Amino acid sequence: MAASASASLRHHLLLLRRPRFALSPIPTFRASSFPRLHQRLFASAPSSSAVEDGESSSSPVMPPDGSSVVDVNPPRGTRDFPPEDMRLRTWLFDQFREVSRIMAFEEVDFPVLESEALFIRKAGEEITQQLYNFEDKGGRRVVLRPEITPSLARLVIKQGKSVSLPLKWFTIGQCWRYERMTRGRRREHYQWNMDIFGMPKVRAESELLQAIILLFERLGITSSDVGIRVSSRKVLQAVLNMYSIPEHLFTEVCVIVDKLGKLTREEIEKELITTGLSSEAVQGIIEVLSLKSLPKLEEVLGSNVEAVADLKKLFSFAEQYGYADWICFDASVVRGLAYYTGIVFEAFDREGKLRAICGGGRYDRLLSTFGSEDVPACGFGFGDAVIVELLKEKGLLPDLSRQIDDIVFPLDEELEGPASSVASSLRRKGRSVDLVEDKRLKWVFKHAERINAGRLILVGKSEWERGMVRVKILSTREEYEVKADELQ
């Protein structure tokens, strides 16, 4: 234990000196306070502490009275989900699940802990440089997974012949990364993944794009808010072929050119030259990557190139699905994952304020890197952070207040038995019932408002002696007596 407390912990300690709990009504979960809560929920900076990576601040310290105080924040870069944040998360995940159901995908899941071997790749991707990895007590190299695709691929290999292709799977899971000394970035997020295995044609990509667009539509987002940039890694492949650049440089080149926008053009060019490319090839690559029109691409690469045929097919499908206004060709899209081989895409806000909302592509050769036979595959990952920022921006966050059917309240301590029967019988009918005791009636009314209760059921002495309870409908203020055993 550290002997001295950091500034933020000293603040905690001060708070701890005062009584922290009161049985008084403090309306916290009211709808009016919702925007603030959302801001807290998906802010990219950890809300916990102003001191970033001051290692001592997450260790327990000794307060003056000698008892140890545990840091009340979750580990640096991670989130708690108190009820109001959890309601938003559940709502969002329900949208993911509903779209997946509509698209006829099946849900799967994997351990958040995986073997490091699944994620060891040498192309210099950011994702593999920030692995949250460690050695377990048995000496195994393990990671808190940074992404879910390798686990999906692993399960596909494991299931082997016992499943019939194509497989359409989705999953929603937490992913982790570890960055040292970086301010204001989270170390975990949740990701919705949809993947199709065993479908070699761009039909698969078209289906994935429909899923993403159906989700946007359900959330109230339009094609004037959001677009999806589409390209194919085969574009870059064709350019490399034009300059006779060896096959083994392909992945590395993809990972480098994905940094366009983050690095300057000069830095990108320098990195490309370092891999051994001629400056002529580098210029050729950068020129092609600036193309934003499919006819232009066809002009440059010729129409016999797979990249062009795939993209034309995809845009023709888009017309038939009815989502052509959402997508556009943009050769600069390459995506940062090493394993993509064909079509790649990413959704972006048209105002250009946010990072990519989701991204994906085809990865036909991932399984062979695991020593198995390849299966054509494509998929996308859709995080829980940027989409919520966008919904907030557009005023599309729903009002997710708490909702309870009934509050049962005995007016007298000796009526706690009858109140138990009343609550129990309503619950057996499937109604959500909050049984409240040891409060003043005024508190109960405020509480009823706070949790949007439908009815207040008062168990009073004189009524109970006649086998009755008093019911108050909270929306209409209507009040009546009813026989306890006829209460519905």
Torsion of CA 19, 25, 28, 32, to 10 degrees: -150
- Residue whose CB is less far from a copy of itself, 267 or 416: 416
Of 31, 44, 134, 299, the residue at the interface with a copy of itself (CB under 8 A) is 134
- Which of the stretches 154-162, 287-295, 334-342, 344-352 binds a copy of itself when contact is defined by CB under 8 A? 154-162
Encode 47-79 in three state secondary structure. CCCCCCCCHHHHCCECCCCCCCECCCCCCCCCC
Q: Is the Cβ–Cβ distance between 267 and 256 less than 8 Å?
A: no
- Residue whose CB is less far from a copy of itself, 374 or 393: 374
Restricting to residues 276-305, which ones interact with a copy of itself according to CB under 8 A? none
Residue with tokens 């007298």: 412
Of 427, 452, 460, 474, the residue at the interface with a copy of itself (CB under 8 A) is 427
* Closest residue by Cα to residue 406 from 446, 458, 441: 458
178 annotated binding-site participant: no
User: What 8-state DSSP symbol labels residue 111?
Assistant: -
Of 140, 353, 355, 483, the residue at the interface with a copy of itself (CB under 8 A) is 140
- Which of the stretches 263-271, 357-365, 444-452, 475-483 binds a copy of itself when contact is defined by CB under 8 A? 444-452
State the nearest-atom distance from the C-beta of 307 to a copy of itself, in Å: 20
CA distance linking residue 363 with residue 245, whole number of Å: 21
R_g of the chain, CA atoms, integer Å: 28
Q: Provide long-range contacts, Cβ within 8 A and 24+ apart, for 47-55.
A: 48/8, 48/73, 48/74, 48/76, 49/6, 49/8, 49/73, 49/76, 50/7, 50/8, 51/6, 51/7, 51/8, 52/76, 52/181, 52/183, 52/184, 53/180, 53/181, 53/183, 54/6
Q: Residue 424 interacts with a copy of itself (CB under 8 A)?
A: yes
State the nearest-atom distance from the C-beta of 454 to a copy of itself, in Å: 12
Q: Residue 267 interacts with a copy of itself (CB under 8 A)?
A: no
- Which of the stretches 152-160, 275-283, 326-334, 380-388 binds a copy of itself when contact is defined by CB under 8 A? 152-160
Restricting to residues 336-375, which ones interact with a copy of itself according to CB under 8 A? 368, 370-373, 375
Q: Residue 74 interacts with a copy of itself (CB under 8 A)?
A: yes
- Which of the stretches 13-21, 245-253, 326-334, 473-481 binds a copy of itself when contact is defined by CB under 8 A? 13-21
- Which of the stretches 64-72, 262-270, 292-300, 471-479 binds a copy of itself when contact is defined by CB under 8 A? 64-72
Decide: helix, strand or coil at residue 368.
Answer: helix
Phi-psi region of 424 (alpha: psi -120 to 50; beta: other; left: phi over 0): alpha
Of 51, 123, 404, 471, the residue at the interface with a copy of itself (CB under 8 A) is 404
148 annotated binding-site participant: yes
Residue 328, C-beta contacts closer than 8 angstroms, at least 6 positions apart:
227, 228, 229, 230, 292
CB atoms within 10 A of CB 27: 12
Q: Amino acid identity, residue 203? A: R
Q: How far is CA 125 from the centre of its chain?
A: 21
Residue with tokens 């004037």: 224
State the nearest-atom distance from the C-beta of 271 to a copy of itself, in Å: 26
28 annotated binding-site participant: no
Q: Residue 39 interacts with a copy of itself (CB under 8 A)?
A: no
177 annotated binding-site participant: yes
Of 35, 81, 129, 483, the residue at the interface with a copy of itself (CB under 8 A) is 81
Of 7, 10, 14, 16, the residue at the interface with a copy of itself (CB under 8 A) is 16
Of 83, 276, 302, 467, the residue at the interface with a copy of itself (CB under 8 A) is 83
Of 35, 82, 295, 467, the residue at the interface with a copy of itself (CB under 8 A) is 82
212 annotated binding-site participant: no
Structure tokens belonging to residue 310: 């795939």
Restricting to residues 317-336, which ones interact with a copy of itself according to CB under 8 A? 317, 320-323
State the nearest-atom distance from the C-beta of 70 to a copy of itself, in Å: 4
Of 34, 42, 96, 169, the residue at the interface with a copy of itself (CB under 8 A) is 169
Of 49, 128, 191, 206, the residue at the interface with a copy of itself (CB under 8 A) is 206
State the nearest-atom distance from the C-beta of 38 to a copy of itself, in Å: 16
- H/E stretch holding 35: helix 34-42
Of 432, 445, 471, 474, the residue at the interface with a copy of itself (CB under 8 A) is 432
Q: Is the Cβ–Cβ distance between 29 and 402 less than 8 Å?
A: yes
CA distance linking residue 149 with residue 380, whole number of Å: 9
- Which of the stretches 132-140, 294-302, 388-396, 462-470 binds a copy of itself when contact is defined by CB under 8 A? 132-140
Q: Residue 223 interacts with a copy of itself (CB under 8 A)?
A: no
Q: Amino acid identity, residue 26? A: I
Q: Is the Cβ–Cβ distance between 433 and 426 less than 8 Å?
A: yes
Q: Residue 35 interacts with a copy of itself (CB under 8 A)?
A: no
Residue list for the binding site for L-histidine: 147-149, 177, 191, 195, 335, 339-340
